[in-house]
Amino acid sequence: MTSPTQTSTATPATTATTQPRLAPTRTWSAVLFDLDGTIVDSASDITASLAYTFATMGLPVPDEEALRAYVGPPLLDSFRMTAGFSEADAWAALEIYREHYDRHLLNSPVFPGVAGVLQRVHQAGIPLALATSKPESMARLVLEHNDLARFFTVIAGASEDEERSTKADVVAEALRRLQAEGVDTAHAVMVGDRGYDTLGALANGVPTVLVEWGYGSPAEAADTLAVVHSADQLRQLLVG
């Protein structure tokens, strides 16, 4: 088995540096999970809906690589900043996207081994929270469809009006709800696949474990606690 990788916070990491096997550094009091690219492989469904959105708006459809850059960050922000849409056009694009994506929402498969990791963390008595930039209602449907919602104490996502959409805001909401359930969040950890997950968690004082099977690049491993290459390595890091 390949060893998980620790990354330094001193300089951005563009390549992995192999370390001895990474054992759990503490008993985690809570584990927060991203959804797209971490639990479910949704990229093809998301990019298909994005392509439909651009075509419906009478615009050239970006290539697949460009569309994948939209997977992860809040979509309304991506329409504004990446696509350069006006505020009105960004909201119009979001409405078109959601209408199309709703019809394909439940097609995305769970990454191999991840359901088992969630079950083991739950069985270990560690509270789980979802923290995703996907709209919360959609995220709940995905977890319920895959029989995973039962493992989560909290399911937090973006609000329908996009008032809560940044990863930092979603993580803060997940922590708030965990605390309301009496969960100690002093030693929480985030599991994600993009630099946005790391930055959003760090804004709330939470370290991040990055999974390599998602949609991030090696450069996005900077400032993470560790990078894991398989579900088995993630399980070892979270529960030993």
Q: Please write the tens of the pLDDT for every residue from 138-154.
A: 999 999 999 999 999 99
Closest among 5, 3, 1, 72 to 209, alpha carbons compared:
5
> How does 36-46 read in b/e, with b if 16+ C-beta sit within 10 Å?
bbbbbbbbebb
pLDDT band at 17 (very low <50, low <70, confident <90, very high): very low
Tens digits of residue pLDDT in 88-127? 999 999 999 999 999 888 999 999 999 999 999 999 999 9
Burial class (CB within 10 angstroms; exposed 0-12, middle 13-18, buried 19+) of 68 = middle
Report the C-alpha gap between 131 and 123 in whole angstroms.
Answer: 20
Q: Give residue limits of the domains in the chain.
A: 30-41+109-239, 43-106
Q: Which helix (H) or strand (E) holds 1?
A: none
Which residues have a catalytic role annotated? 34
For residue 217, the model assigns a pLDDT of 86
Q: What is the mean pLDDT of residues 217-232?
A: 92
Tens digits of residue pLDDT in 27-45? 899 999 999 999 999 999 9
The single residue listed with the structure tokens 């922000």 is: 77
Tens digits of residue pLDDT in 186-217? 999 999 999 999 999 999 999 999 999 999 88
- Give the CATH number of domain 30-41+109-239: 3.40.50.1000
Topology agreement, domain 30-41+109-239 and domain 43-106: no
The CATH architecture that domain 43-106 belongs to is Orthogonal Bundle (1.10)
Report the C-alpha gap between 81 and 79 in whole angstroms.
Answer: 6
